Structure 1
Amino acid sequence: MLKIQEIREIIKLIDQSSIEKFTFESEGTKIKLEKGSSSAQVHPEQKNVESVQQTAPAVQAVKQEEPKQEKVDTTNNETSSNSPAAEVDPSLHKITSPMVGTFYQSSSPDAPAYVKKGDSVSPEKIVCIVEAMKLFNEIEAEVSGEIVEILVEDGQLVEYGQPLFLVKQN
């Protein structure tokens, strides 16, 4: 199965190309992406089909709960809100959301948060979960360093490319 970072890279490459449709198959997993489509499908070894909503510049989607948000701004991957991320040290690494969904700091309401401000992280360390269409996607830090800031609240809706954490890299 592909990691979310690998899928994110595929989406970025498709967005930067003139390709309208893309299909990728590897080790029993099949991903189909279409510009202007509202979903990417993942087919693991003919068992069951899971549909994963990817709101990215390469795959534009309409959120049914909030009809006012119809498309992602392809010129800027940050949200247009007045978030502290716009005013921070440019040397800090931003851990961003790979999809539209709901941000969770822990695996369940009674479990401790994956990370807190001041915690050290490694590239494979899970820092949060983003839930999209009842699928819980574990988000990894991707870098080694220290969590300087948590930019979103537990249970908050997040957009594709929205900064979630700021990390001071080692």
Structure 2
Amino acid sequence: MLSIQEMEALIDKLDQSSIDEFSYEANGAKIKLKKHHSVVQTVTNEAVHIPQTPQIKEQVAPSIEKPSQSEQATVQEEKPVVESKDYDFEVVSPMVGTFYSSPSPDKPAFVQVGDQVSENTVICIVEAMKLFNEIEADVKGTVTEVLVENGELVEYGQPLFRIKTV
């Protein structure tokens, strides 16, 4: 079994690395470390505003021209307004890869809209470099939306599922 100091060192190394999940098993003891990169959004009846990170602003800002006042008025009128809140948690992809909704082509999907999930429920697989990574729900609730299709390429941080938590 690992000592407390060794576990703390593992946690520090995981925090500093690009690895999102780490499992270790020896002599009947099992340790699973997992980074949580999921996005939790609260949506109201007002227009949705998603702030940009400073890094994105720096990359995008030079190519954006300031619109005229009439264009600004048009842009403001076109903002979507969310009518209802049907989810309060999004499961996002922890890596770039291929999304699979079932364990194999001849098996049913792990979850569908309306299914109840718990924190440890496997809801999909993301394949990256021939490694099949099981993605868990991380929350208890009901799947309200599946945002990607089977076999679709997904990006790091891309929303995969929306869940209404219990």
- 1:147 is displaced (CA, Å) by 0.2
* Alignment gaps of 5+ in structure 1: 1-23, 46-55, 57-72, 77-85
User: SS where residue 118 of structure 1 aligns?
Assistant: coil
Please tell me whether residue 92 in structure 1 is matched to residue 70 in structure 2: no
What TM-score, normalized to structure 1? 0.51
How do 1:109-128 and structure 2 match up within 5 A? 109-128=105-124
Q: Closer, same or farther in 2 for the Cα pair 1:164/1:32, shift >3 Å?
A: closer
- Max Rg structure: 2
Partner of 2:3: none
Moved over 4 A (4+): 30-34, 73-76
1-structure distance, mates of 2:112, 2:86: 21
- 1:92 is displaced (CA, Å) by 1.7
Identify, as 1 or 2, the structure richer in helix: 2
Partner of 1:108: 104
Partner of 2:148: 152
How do 1:26-105 and structure 2 match up within 5 A? 26=10, 75=56, 89=85, 92-105=88-101
1-structure distance, mates of 2:130, 2:165: 32
* Alignment gaps of 5+ in structure 2: 1-7, 26-36, 38-53, 58-80
- 1:93 is displaced (CA, Å) by 0.4
What TM-score, normalized to structure 2? 0.53
- The one of 99, 119, 126 equivalent to 1:130 is 126
2-structure distance, mates of 1:166, 1:155: 19
Q: Closer, same or farther in 2 for the Cα pair 1:25/1:146, shift >3 Å?
A: same
Letter of the aligned partner of 1:119 in structure 2? Answer: D
Q: How many residues align?
A: 107
